[in-house]
Structure 1
Amino acid sequence: MNGFLPYQSFATEVVAQPLLELLERHRVPVETGWAKPDFDVSMANNATDTRFVVRLQQADFERARELEEQDNEALMDNAPSDHYLFGFDDDELFDILVKPDEWNSYDVSLARHILRQRGREVSPDTMRLLRRNRLAEMTNPEPSQKGWILLGYFSAAIGGILGMLIGWHLHYHNKTLSDGTQVRAFSPRDRAHGFRILLLGIGGLVASMLLQLLKN
């Protein structure tokens, strides 16, 4: 990827155009493309899982977010009164600010705007603190993947490729944080299980192939 990391993903390329135009105006280098989840347990090649991904260099993540916020602020006074966020209570709006990675940038700006209208001003310093806290929370590994580990061991033991895929995913999968930093997605314990599952799967696959050769 030449140092480009996933910044945002969209259901379609059309939905991504406002962001791409904004970044182009400010000469922020961009790479785009279609991507599927790193691991599809169904192996069904479901087209609906494919997302249009906008990738940036990590050094441009903060700048891009600031550009989006500035662009959104210019739209706030003309926000449609029937937008669904106007039906949210204060706690629900504040939750959007606490977890901005789960929402698009316009909704985050609008949530802050609505709170301001209701006399609940959220200062820039508070926003930065919320982002830092969220970033620290996101660095934590995912919950223990006990079900996938058991399935991985079982599948790997019988020579199943599924077990190897599960093992590879548990051991090597990274997640990209909102600042572009990449960290291991799973705990050291689960990653160790993943490595053992991967080795067991390779051994099981080789054994299965040898048995087939001997039968022939």
Structure 2
Amino acid sequence: MNKESYKTYRIFNDYGLVQELEVTLAEHQIDYVTENSSLPFDPSFANNPVNQEYRVKLKSEDFERANAVLIKEASVQLEETDRNHYLFTFSDEELMELISKRDEWSNYDFLLAQKILKERGKVLGNGELAEFEEKRLQELNKFEKVSPGWLYAGFLFALLGGVFGIMMGWFISSNTKTLPNGKTMYCYSDADRKKGRVMLIVGIVVLVFCLILRISQQF
């Protein structure tokens, strides 16, 4: 199995939620891969669940099918909705924002927001939902910006032979993100990634030079 063909579909901090999704995917014969990308240790020694991160990955072509399956399950759960659910306290504007950024919320919350708006006399048609989705994809499809401060710091560490500079250069030059439709893109622009590659190369060269110099001084 080529894990590189699998893209991040959902990220969880709770392994119980991971298992629930795994069961659903297995029942509908959707191939998946689960990775534990948690920190190797908890710096606070408090066993903070925020430091736990599990990634459920799917093939890009299975994203839409998985969405349809989860939407169907969430629709069934709506029938048992507790009126004390926190979404009932949201304003119409907050619910609309939730719907427009459905990738940040669960399918259940996405459907419940529509149900609440419908009860308030605001019905969203398929055309409006598709427009929200397209606009959101356009927003997410934009490159992120690397702040000048981080670039200066990265190059400074790279020139000093610091591992941080090397790691930062590698991150800027190669980091990618997966859009809700399964498409993968680089997080940073070509110009920023070029700077990241230069930072990476400089850091490696300086680090190797420092190691050679240190070894030569021992003889």
TM-score by length of 1: 0.91
Structure 2 match to 1:113: 115
The alignment-based identity, stated in percent, is 29
> What is the rounded CA distance, in whole Å, between the counterparts of 2:176 and 2:24 in structure 1?
28
CA offset digits 1:135-169 (Å, max 9, x no partner): 11111001233222111101000000110000000
What residue in structure 1 maps to residue 82 of structure 2?
80
Aligned-partner Cα distance in 1 for 2:14–2:174: 28
Aligned equivalent of 1:66:
68
Find the aligned partners of 1:118 and 1:110 in 2 and give their Cα distance: 12
SS of match in other structure, 2:57: strand
C-alpha displacement at 1:31, in angstroms? 1.4
Q: Cα RMSD between the aligned structures?
A: 2.1
Cα distance in 2 for partners of 1:186, 1:198 equals 15
Cα deviation 1:163-188 (Å, max 9, x = unaligned): 00000000011111111111000122
**SS of equivalent residue, structure 1 residue 74:** helix
Distance 1:167 1:45, change over 3 A: farther
Structure 2: segments with no counterpart, 5+ residues: none
Partner of 2:206: 204
TM-score (norm 2): 0.89
Output the CA distance in 1 between the equivalents of 2:44 and 2:9.
23
Aligned residues: 212
* Structure 1: gaps of 5 or more residues: none
Please report how far the alpha carbon of residue 69 of structure 1 lies from its aligned counterpart in structure 2 after TM superposition: 1.1
Match of 1:163 among 162, 165, 175: 165
- The answer to whether the 8 A contact 1:31-1:55 is kept is yes
